[in-house]
Amino acid sequence: FNILTTMGNYSNARMSMPSLQLEFRYDPGCMIAFPGRIMRHGVHAVEGDQIAWAWYMRDSIHVYARVLSCGWARVDYKQ
């Protein structure tokens, strides 16, 4: 799953998921979790300032972007 959180000073934002024919209000402080890799999604343009903060749960995303994942998100299996 991916987790998206939005912040800022704006109004009337909408998150759409066309494959499910769903559209959600995407107000400041909203948090949505969904399988972003397999589900097409988007946010319509808004007036104002908006920041979307994304958490990617898959290590392959961190490897691809060449960004280390934070320590608390890693699981080390010791035998």
What does the pLDDT look like over 10-60, one tens digit per residue?
A: 888 888 988 889 898 888 988 888 876 677 888 888 888 888 777 766 777
Answering whether pTM is above 0.75, one says no
Q: 16 by DSSP, 3-state: which?
A: strand
Inter-residue contact 54 to 2 (CB < 8 Å): yes
The rounded distance, in Å, linking the Cα atoms of 36 and 26 is 16
